[in-house]
């Protein structure tokens, strides 16, 4: 039987494909088990969601009831409350018990509950059609946010709630949502929360001195995996499937992918696929660069469209970020070399590029978030 590709990207990474993060996992699991309210802040592509899911899986095996919600999936505050209520209710595995429990605990309005079945699976659908005014929403939110504590008391088990992409709460009349959620959570000593977000600047504001969640709990800031550990992980994963990685292959993949977990796994995955398709038993730099060339060709149309949407000033700054490794962009030498505008113009372009999710600021350095886009800019633009 042929070996499966050992590198996973674009989805939650299973335990056996998880690289490093032992310290972060131990800390997150221990704090949640203790009922802490944790803020996990991480740029995109760092593996935040996979880390949270692994912690929830560990805690579930230890007897905790776990609830996992991605806030950014919801188009309105009410739809978020409906999703939250459904997630809490379906901790009960039996449809009828879940239905009865939710009907009993929601008293401010009459929930509409039904079971939706299809060929693959079924699920409890929850709606609050009678909730129409702002006052109705506020009363309902207060009731639903109290449910994790009630669930823990009734079931005599710890409850763990994960709210991923938590910064999206800000779009739901953020201030009032934060106040209501903080007021409920701080009363629930037996419930652990992880508020995870992938827009660091927004998350930092949410835990600032003038916001409801200021000093509400410990803050974890996810850093990159050490490059040497990641490189060893990659080479070992190749070896486990019968493909010998030449020395330095792992380090080259980590470097080309900017040491972003998503990008590292993607480049390793695609390289492994190409080597296996060619019937080879050895992986080296030639194969890696052939795969990189293929990926750039496949993404060429999309990257060209991204480039065309930018203003000339933004293109110049983005190219300078690539060629300068994101450093000293405001210096006179850099501005002259890359024919950039004045400092204020450069700052405006950098802000616009970050808002478009093309750049990330790491300390004094700016980084192109998609490593393939970075390589495309370096090779295809002037």
Residues 151 and 67: their CA atoms lie apart, in Å, by 11
Find the DSSP H helices in the chain.
Answer: 22-33, 48-61, 77-89, 95-105, 134-145, 147-155, 174-185, 200-206, 227-240, 249-256, 261-277, 285-309, 312-323, 332-337, 343-355, 371-380
- Render each residue's pLDDT in the chain as its tens digit; 382 residues: 467 899 988 776 666 667 778 899 999 999 999 999 999 999 888 889 999 999 999 999 999 999 999 999 999 999 999 999 999 998 866 777 888 888 889 999 999 988 876 545 567 889 999 999 999 999 999 999 999 999 999 999 999 999 999 999 988 976 689 999 999 999 999 999 999 999 888 899 999 998 999 999 999 999 889 999 999 999 999 999 999 999 999 999 999 999 999 999 999 999 999 999 999 999 999 999 999 999 999 999 999 999 999 999 999 999 999 999 999 999 999 999 999 999 999 999 999 999 898 998 888 899 999 999 999 999 999 9
Q: What's the pLDDT at 14?
A: 67
Q: What's the pLDDT at 55?
A: 96
Supply φ then ψ for residue 37, to 5 degrees.
Answer: -110, 105
Cβ–Cβ < 8 Å for 256, 295: no
Q: What's the pLDDT at 173?
A: 73
Domain spans in the chain, listed from the N-terminal domain onward = 21-221, 239-245+268-380
CATH number for the domain whose boundaries are 21-221 = 3.40.50.300
Q: What's the pLDDT at 76?
A: 94
Q: What's the pLDDT at 119?
A: 44
Instruction: Among 1.10.246, 3.90.1600, 1.10.357, 1.10.10, name the CATH number for the domain at 239-245+268-380.
Output: 1.10.10
Cβ–Cβ < 8 Å for 34, 192: yes
Q: What's the pLDDT at 100?
A: 84
Residues 187 and 181: their CA atoms lie apart, in Å, by 10
User: For residues 333-370, b (16+ Cβ closer than 10 Å) or e, as one string?
Assistant: ebbeebebeeeeebebbbebbbeeebbbeeeeebbbbb
Instruction: Single out the residue of 161, 146, 148, 147 nearest to residue 69, CA to CA.
Output: 161
Residues 229 and 254: their CA atoms lie apart, in Å, by 10
Q: What's the pLDDT at 93?
A: 64
Q: Residue 133 burial by CB count (10 A; 0-12/13-18/19+): exposed, middle or buried?
A: exposed
**What is the residue-wise DSSP string for 107-120?**
-SS--EEEEEE-SS
The residues near 64 (Cβ < 8 Å, ≥ 6 apart) are 32, 33, 157, 158, 159, 160, 192
């Amino acid at each position: 039987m042929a070996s499966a590709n050992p590198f996973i990207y674009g989805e939650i990474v299973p335990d056996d494909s998880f690289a490093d993060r032992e310290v972060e996992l131990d800390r997150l699991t221990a704090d949640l088990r203790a009922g802490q309210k944790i803020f996990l802040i991480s740029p995109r592509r760092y593996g935040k969601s996979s880390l949270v899911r692994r912690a929830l899986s560990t805690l579930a095996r230890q007897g905790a009831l776990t609830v996992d919600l991605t806030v950014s999936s919801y188009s309105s505050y009410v739809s978020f409350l409906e999703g939250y209520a459904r997630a809490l209710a379906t901790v009960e595995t039996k449809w009828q018990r879940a239905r009865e429990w939710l009907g009993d605990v929601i008293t401010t309005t009459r929930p509409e509950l039904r079971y939706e079945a299809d060929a693959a699976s079924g699920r409890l659908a929850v709606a609050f059609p009678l909730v129409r005014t702002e006052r109705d929403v506020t009363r309902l939110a207060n009731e639903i946010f109290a449910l994790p504590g009630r669930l823990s008391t009734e079931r005599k088990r710890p409850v763990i709630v994960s709210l991923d992409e938590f910064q999206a709460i800000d779009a739901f009349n953020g201030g009032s949502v934060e106040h209501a959620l903080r007021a409920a959570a701080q009363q629930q000593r037996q419930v652990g929360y992880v508020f995870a977000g992938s827009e660091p600047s927004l998350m930092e504001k949410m835990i600032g001195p003038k916001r409801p969640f200021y000093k509400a709990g410990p803050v974890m800031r996810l850093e990159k995996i050490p490059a040497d550990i990641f490189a060893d992980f990659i080479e070992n994963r190749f070896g486990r499937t019968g493909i010998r990685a030449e020395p330095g292959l792992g380090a080259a993949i980590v470097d080309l992918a900017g040491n972003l977990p998503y990008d590292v796994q993607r480049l390793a995955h695609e390289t492994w696929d190409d080597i296996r398709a060619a019937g080879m038993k050895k992986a080296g730099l030639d194969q890696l660069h052939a795969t990189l060339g293929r990926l750039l060709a496949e993404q060429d149309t999309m990257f060209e469209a991204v480039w065309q949407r930018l203003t000339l000033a933004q293109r110049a700054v983005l190219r300078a970020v690539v060629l300068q490794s994101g450093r000293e962009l405001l210096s006179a030498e850099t501005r002259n070399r890359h024919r950039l505008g004045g400092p204020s113009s450069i700052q405006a372009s950098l802000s616009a590029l970050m808002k478009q999710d093309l750049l990330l600021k790491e300390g004094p350095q700016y980084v192109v978030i998609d490593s393939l886009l970075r390589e495309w800019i370096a090779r295809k633009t002037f």
